[in-house]
Structure 1
Amino acid sequence: MSASIEIREGYSPQNPETLAAYLSGIDAVRAVLGGEPPQWTIAEVGDGNLNLVFIVKGPAGGVAVKQALPYVRLVGESWPLPLSRAHYEHMALSEQARLTGKLVPHIHHYDERQALIVMELLEPHIIMRRGMIDAVEYPRFADDISSFMARTLYFTSDLALTADRKKAMIAAFAGNTALCKITEDLIFTDPYRVAELNRWTSPELDTYAARWREDGELKIAVSRLKLKFLSSAEAMLHGDLHTGSIMLTPEETRVIDPEFAFMGPMGFDVGAIVANFLLNYLAQDGHVESPGARDGYRDWVLETLERIWTAFREKFLALWRENPTGDAYPISLFAEAEGAARLEMERQAYMDRLWADTVGFAAAKMIRRILGLAHNIDLEWIKDRELRATCEARALTLARDMMVNTAAYGSIATVMAAARQVRRDIAHY
């Protein structure tokens, strides 16, 4: 953590009273809202870990305003955080919009000094995690998120970019070190040691937490993943791609909040989606209204997860075949028939390696949401503590095996089968 709160000339945190005056000076925003500032309504709605978020509505329309604070909102001023994360979020959103169009919110205005972004108000979209807790099905999501991941990861990788352009992207995101440090500590380190900010369902999971801290095999496995996170600048990542960073309706998907963006291993983004679907699947028993009431929804969760990975793999490979423009695997080396066949074999092997990374990173994301600082409401909102602990014990057991026995999970089908099996095997924490 930094030693002191950042002080930036001209920066001041907004509130509903000051924000109206600020927005009134931005023509593009006034055009969206319509009317005059006294006709606007402003509400601070941020429930995330880091930032201020406002919803502003006028006679003609609305906008969302996100402003970085110079500290971690979840913890307070004892944990300073650079305002520059808004710069990286804006840069990532701009690149994602170029590559995926309407799968991210439109930006109306960006203010570097104020670390503030004014963007499209997403209504009636809701946070996906909340919808899944309520057992809402999203028929378009698998297609949308697989397209988002395939296009953002492929087109920012060495498979599509020349070496100079790729290195320029690495340089552009290299300064987002504070957000990467949060990931490095909270995901790959703290859950496996005594750390002040760790928390879990206690005392029910005390023995699990202790075992995870003493598990040498697990700590080696997570350290290998951390090394890959630190050293493999494969593509531009969203960096925090979970169901809390997605707003959607059954017909439309938007990916939000890429302030953790950096150049890293592709499996980290894909693994985050896998982890959140597995956590939701294993949390459903804590939200069921009556026995058997959510059996169909649990099936939908796993079937959608299967469609996500299958579609992602197919789309990524199609992009590679159609756009072999990067300096990796130069197409001129594989022009003859035998070479083309060998390249196709290598493409399949590449995706198998990416899947193995995905399995490991998914496991790490699951463990951190139960034994670390920031938890998922999928599990946190289970009111019965013993039932919550049981759901969490299942997730921890599955995640540990995925991380230390990754080779046993050679397909999405094996992950699905293991999730179903651990739910049957563990009846009580």
Structure 2
Amino acid sequence: MTFQFDVYKPLTEESAISLLKKLHFFAEDEHVTCREIGDGNLNLVFQMSTQGSTKKWIVKQALPYAKVVGESWPLTLKRAKIESEALLQFAKFTPHLVPEVLYSNETLALTIMEDLSHLSIARTGLIKGDSYPNLGKDIGTFLAHILFKTSDLGLSPTEKKEKAQQFSNPELCKITEDLVFTDPFFDHDTNDFEPELSEKVEQLWKEDELKLEVAKLKRLFLTNGDALIHGDLHTGSIFASEHETKIIDPEFAFYGPFGFDLGHFIANLLFNALRRPPAQTELFGFIHDTWETFSSVFTSLWKEDKNNPFLQVNGYLDYTLRTVWQDALGFAGCEMIRRTIGLAHVADLDTIEESELRIRTKEIALDIGRSLILNRVEIKNVQDLHEFYIENNEFLGNNARTV
């Protein structure tokens, strides 16, 4: 078939094969296996390979609408360009932690990248109880390098402003603004939760103190363009094994607050801890590794910089790290609430088979999310967070231990 590079059209398995042959990823006479493997809400994802060959590629194409809703929810195709450019930017600083981008096409809204099928989605593996000993350290390393080196701390003011313009992503930011920071805290038709949660949710909607703190966090998201952030860094956006970690899907990337990605990652580890109480010490170990690695690497980068005289001012580094931690906890709280009663849920909770246990676990997730938002200043470190978690979760019993 003839492939058109100048007209957008959603790919099929057949046209994806044609595309990669035209681009010489495969020879014309090669027998190519292609299957659509996407399970997200916004994209088509094809896995391509030849039998007995090491040639394996992933083709990801943005759809002009959200699959979870349908064509009634249109979306910009520009997000595919944002994603490929974000991956290339991340690769400048942490190439071992992101997939290699081999080709991108803005008109077709697609990216061709290395196949990571030898790894597992971290969320799926964690639910099964798989071990990822490097996960926390790798995410901490990624966040430290990306946040420092794409911010005013690592760039000149002109370079930073040019990067912020390059990664302007208003349509996908609007999704976050609505689905994370607004809709779950009001009686909105995008919300989705079991009837058994109605009383607790309605109480949450009436709590003005909580909504005031969420308004402050939303304002941070809207106005703090600290650095290039992934924008959707949860355990479903990470491939992992015992030895490797790869961060994927940065189509929500833009210039946002330092603590946003960290908060989302923490929240999704807390979801897994709620699902698997016996593993909560290991999961808090991941949070500990993430924060300790982040703060250590970020501090090293800070102290190495000789261009910004303010970086030598006593107290500025401590203030920055303290603010990142506090904001991350608040963002984690919003993520826990929205993933429990908002439009998009997490398998950690939704696949708990026993109904009563699932509802009780979701109630605790809401309690923890609410308390993280309200108490983010009082929780000074990971040990405080662990103790706070135990106090808010009666399922842990007397055997829970702090990090």
Alignment of 1:19-34 (within 5 A): 19-27=16-24, 29-30=25-26
**Does 2:267 match 1:275?**
yes
Instruction: Give 5+ residue unaligned stretches, structure 1.
Output: 1-7, 286-294, 335-339
> What residue number does 2:361 align with?
391
SS in 1 for 2:188: coil
Deviations 1:38-74 (A, max 9, x none): 5111000100111000111113321011000000111
* 1:160–1:324 CA contact under 8 A, matched in 2: no
Find the counterpart in structure 2 of residue 15 from structure 1: 12
> How do 1:207-246 and structure 2 match up within 5 A?
207-246=199-238
State the match for 1:87 in structure 2.
81
CA deviation profile, 1:291-337 (whole Å, cap 9, x unmatched): xxxx2x22111112111111111111111111344xxxx32x67xxx
SS at match of 2:72: strand
CA distance in 1: counterparts of 2:353 and 2:6, whole angstroms: 46
Distance 2:306 2:234 in 1: 29
Change (3 A) 1:372 1:323: same
Give the TM-score, by structure 2 length: 0.94
Q: Quickly say closer, same or farther: Cα 1:324–1:233, change in 2 above 3 A.
A: farther
Taking the TM superposition and a 5 Å limit, the aligned residue runs for 1:107-122 are 107-122=101-116
Structure 1 residue 321 and structure 2 residue 266: aligned?
A: no
Q: Distance in 1 between matches of 2:225 and 2:379?
A: 24
CA distance in 2, matches of 1:192, 1:385: 24
1:347 equivalent to 2:317? Answer yes
Q: In 1, distance between residues paired with 2:288 and 2:363?
A: 23
Q: Is the 8 A contact 1:204 1:386 kept in 2?
A: no
For these two proteins, the number of residue pairs brought into alignment is 391
- The one-letter code of the counterpart of 1:321 is K
Quote the sequence identity (%): 38
**Conservation of the 8 A alpha-carbon contact between 2:6 and 2:108:** no
Q: Residue 402 of structure 1 aligns to which amino acid in structure 2? A: L
In the alignment, which of 117, 128, 152 is matched to residue 122 of structure 2? 128
- TM-score normalized with structure 1 length: 0.88
Aligned partners of 1:86 and 1:116 also within 8 Å:
yes
Per-residue deviation, residues 89-147 of structure 1 (Å, max 9, x unmatched): 01101100111112100011111110010100003101100000011111111221111
Tell me the distance in 1 between the aligned counterparts of 2:6 and 2:257.
36
Partner Cα distance (1:41, 1:421) in 2:
52
Residue aligning to 1:253: 245
Residue from 162, 167, 170 that aligns with 1:168: 162
Partner of 1:263: 255
Match of 1:371 in 2: 341
Matched, 1:143 2:113: no
Q: Distance in 1 between matches of 2:179 and 2:304?
A: 38
Gaps (5+ residues) in structure 2? 398-403
- Partner AA of 2:352 in structure 1: I
Equivalent position SS for 2:377: helix
Cα RMSD between the aligned structures? 1.6
